[in-house]
């Protein structure tokens, strides 16, 4: 909502706040306060002890970074993200290259400082900000296995699709005002209360705010209503997780979200696992049809359900189907590691991106807007974030499977547009855990297993290659 001319001053404000926060966390008195708290650990209950653990973690990470680096990185990312907005629209990577070069240089300095402080590799030091204790050594075999699994599976899925009648695209255009009404209604159906939430438009969809004030965004295309619809459902999943965090600890570290793997699991559970299911689409199809005054077989439940799970290798990650989506993430993961370790020079990024997407999915972006400029993350300083999307997709399949087994009413309820039983299970088992447990422990407790790819691959086989 900010006017373009406000970007510079807003960047200065954010940088100033970052330095103030950093100064508070690294105040010399903090070491003594934390030590005194630790000496009284025997008198703490489990949540208090976990809160102290998270406080010490926040302090240690802040103490590893000099304040001038915190300020410089905040300013650089604000500047780069502003330039990226125009560069993306113009498909002009060269325009943002100088600003991104500065961001990468400062990010490497940050990674090196954290790496030295915690004795982990540079990439793992940055990944840790988004997935606490996450390690590339654990991610590599999972991603490599999926990259090996994908080609044959994708061929089989595409062959099966080809053997069936082609689903019919509903005729557009789809007026944006009608799309706004539809996606607002769908977010409410998931459980988002607009008495304490907003839905707006942005260049890149996101979810932000606090539990009592959710802010989600999407983008609209008059030729394709599904982009806005699925974007809102995804971001609503994020918002519902935030709103379910433990109220008693909401303003303490232990009450924070437990990393982006769990966060992304909640958005992808809503968008991919639930809202592309045949059960949900049976309820949603008439709602979607009525929103656009549609008529004819293209608006039928079966047709819209098949469109919702149609596999079509493409250029854009946020619009990708769930079979090819992990390939987009694997590409970004490999590229950002190469750039951080100096194995890929930034000017070579567009070509490396195009080559990588061609190798993984057989498609080559025609320009940088559909290639390396499509995501905000690197330009906004989020290096080490991307792996959590696919880890989240795998966790989502595992969580949804466990939820349905625990409460058999969940799937039939979703077929009536009722998310109540699902959210009633997610709140105590996932949302209300906050940062009390590690990601692995949350999943172990909720599903009986640590994070693994089995449930995700089983889900894909059942949905896309049914017996």
Question: Three-state secondary structure along 303-363?
Answer: HHHHHHCCCCCCCCHHHCCCCCHHHHHHHHHHHHHHHHCCCCCHHHHHHHHHHHHHHHHCC
DSSP state of 203: S
Distance CA 308, CA 281 (A): 8
Residues designated as active site: 235
pLDDT in the model for residue 1? 76
Q: Find out whether 145 and 453 touch, Cβ atoms under 8 Å.
A: yes
Sign of the four-CA dihedral 76, 81, 86, 91: positive
Domain boundaries, the chain: 4-119, 130-191+224-467
Q: In degrees to the nearest 10, what's the CA dihedral of 429, 434, 436, 442?
A: 40
Phi and psi angles of residue 285, each rounded to the nearest 5 degrees, phi first:
-55, -50
Q: Is 199 helix (H, G, I), strand (E, B) or coil?
A: strand
pLDDT in the model for residue 38? 93
119: left (phi over 0), alpha (psi -120 to 50) or beta: left
Distance CA 219, CA 201 (A): 5
**130-191+224-467 has which CATH code?**
1.10.1370.30
Given a cut of 50, the residues of the chain with pLDDT beneath it are none
Q: Which residues of 129-161 are buried (b: 16+ CB within 10 A; e: fewer)?
A: bbbbebebeebeebbeebbeebeebbeebeeeb
Q: How is the beta sheet containing 197-201 ordered, strand by strand? A: 197-201, 213-218, 207-210
Sign of the four-CA dihedral 362, 151, 314, 156: positive
- For residue 294, CA distances in Å to 170, 174, 219, 290 come to 8, 10, 22, 6
Q: Find out whether 384 and 129 touch, Cβ atoms under 8 Å.
A: yes
pLDDT in the model for residue 381? 96
pLDDT in the model for residue 5? 87
Predicted TM-score (pTM) above 0.95: no
Angle, CA 119 vertex, CA 257 and CA 65 arms, to 5°: 65
Distance CA 303, CA 285 (A): 9
User: Per residue in 325-376, pLDDT tens?
Assistant: 999 999 999 999 999 999 999 999 999 999 999 999 999 999 999 999 999 9
Q: Find out whether 215 and 198 touch, Cβ atoms under 8 Å.
A: yes
Burial degree of 20 (CB within 10 A; 0-12, 13-18, 19+): exposed
pLDDT in the model for residue 236? 98
Helix (H) or strand (E) holding 30: helix 28-39
């Amino acid at each position: 909502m900010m006017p373009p001319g406000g970007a510079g001053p807003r960047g200065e404000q954010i940088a100033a706040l970052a330095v103030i926060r950093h100064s508070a966390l690294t105040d010399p008195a903090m070491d003594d306060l934390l030590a005194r708290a630790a000496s009284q650990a025997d008198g703490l209950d489990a949540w208090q002890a976990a809160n102290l653990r998270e406080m010490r973690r926040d302090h240690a990470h802040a103490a590893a970074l000099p304040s001038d680096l915190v300020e410089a990185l905040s300013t650089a990312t604000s500047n780069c993200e502003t330039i990226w907005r125009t560069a993306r629209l113009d498909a002009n990577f060269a325009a943002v290259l100088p600003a991104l070069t500065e961001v990468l240089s400062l990010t490497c300095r940050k990674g090196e400082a954290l790496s030295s402080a915690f004795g982990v590799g540079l990439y793992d030091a940055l990944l840790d900000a988004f997935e606490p204790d996450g390690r590339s050594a654990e991610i590599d075999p999972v991603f490599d296995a999926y990259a090996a699994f994908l080609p044959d599976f994708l061929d089989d899925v595409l062959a099966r699709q080809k053997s069936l009648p082609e689903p019919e695209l509903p005729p557009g255009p789809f007026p944006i005002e009608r799309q706004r009404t539809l996606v607002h209604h769908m977010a409410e159906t998931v459980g988002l209360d607009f008495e304490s939430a907003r839905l707006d438009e942005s260049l890149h969809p996101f979810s932000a705010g606090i539990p009592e004030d959710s802010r989600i965004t999407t983008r609209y295309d008059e030729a394709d209503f599904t982009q806005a619809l699925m974007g809102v459902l995804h971001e609503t999943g994020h918002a519902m997780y935030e709103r379910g965090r433990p109220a008693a600890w909401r303003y303490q570290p232990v009450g924070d979200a437990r990393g982006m793997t769990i966060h992304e699991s909640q958005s992808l559970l809503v968008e991919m696992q639930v809202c592309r299911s045949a059960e949900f689409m049976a309820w949603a199809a008439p709602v979607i049809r009525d929103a656009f005054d549609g008529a004819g077989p293209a608006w039928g439940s079966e047709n819209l359900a098949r469109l919702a799970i149609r596999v079509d290798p493409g250029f854009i990650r946020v619009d990708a189907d769930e079979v090819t989506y992990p390939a987009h993430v694997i590409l970004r993961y490999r590229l950002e590691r190469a750039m951080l370790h100096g194995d890929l020079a930034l000017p070579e990024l567009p070509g490396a991106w195009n080559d990588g997407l061609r190798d993984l999915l057989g498609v080559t972006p025609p320009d940088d807007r559909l290639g390396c400029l499509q995501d905000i993350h690197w330009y906004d300083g989020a290096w080490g974030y991307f792996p959590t999307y696919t880890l989240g997709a795998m966790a989502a399949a595992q969580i949804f499977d466990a939820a349905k087994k625990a409460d058999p009413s969940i799937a039939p309820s979703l077929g009536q547009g009722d998310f109540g039983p699902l959210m009633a299970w997610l709140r105590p088992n996932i949302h209300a855990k906050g940062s009390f447990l590690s990601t692995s422990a949350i999943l172990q407790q909720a599903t009986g297993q640590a994070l693994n790819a089995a449930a995700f691959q089983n889900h894909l086989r059942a949905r896309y290659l049914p017996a």
